[in-house]
Amino acid sequence: MPTLNIVLVEPQIPQNTGNVARTCACTGARLHLVGPMGFVVDDRKLKRAGLDYWHMLDITYYQDLKDFFAKNNGPFYYFTTKAPQRYTDVRYPDGAYLVFGREDAGLPEQLLFENQPWCVRLPMRNDARSLNLSNTVAIGVYETLRQWDFDGLLDQGHLRNYDWK
């Protein structure tokens, strides 16, 4: 199964991070949390959002972006409302890092400016600020997995009381 990395830079809302953790657990994506964060990891709101899945996570913590970049080589794809290209215009390779900024400020503009070819956005209305962080992560994750034909994931469900056949 290919490796997908989800990076949250300075997340501020524990419920969003918990939802992202659940998405990572369900898809096998690795989660990278870059500080400083707006909550402590044992926050009950964080754990409640992803409680049943916490044991399934491959999670790494970093002090700050400098620490993160010192320990990871990419390729990095920066999700931002400021990007000039759509997230579907990119072919995500094995080992890709999908990088998301804090809920109230996004990613640092200097980082975006220095990495313009790897900045992507979700199309949305001009008068809307942005989608919720956990929703944006889920969209990015599933686009990447779709491109990989959902390798390693169960893609058929079963009814409890009936048989589809």
- For the annotated binding site for S-adenosyl-L-methionine, the residues are 101, 122, 130
Q: How far is CA 118 from CA 19, 74, 113, in A?
A: 25, 11, 10
Could you list the residues known to form a binding site, using ranges: 101, 122, 130
Question: What b-and-e string marks burial along 77-114, b requiring 16 or more CB atoms within 10 Å of the CB?
Answer: bbbbeebeeebeebebeeebbbbbbbbeebbeeebbee
**What is the DSSP-derived secondary structure letter of residue 66?**
H
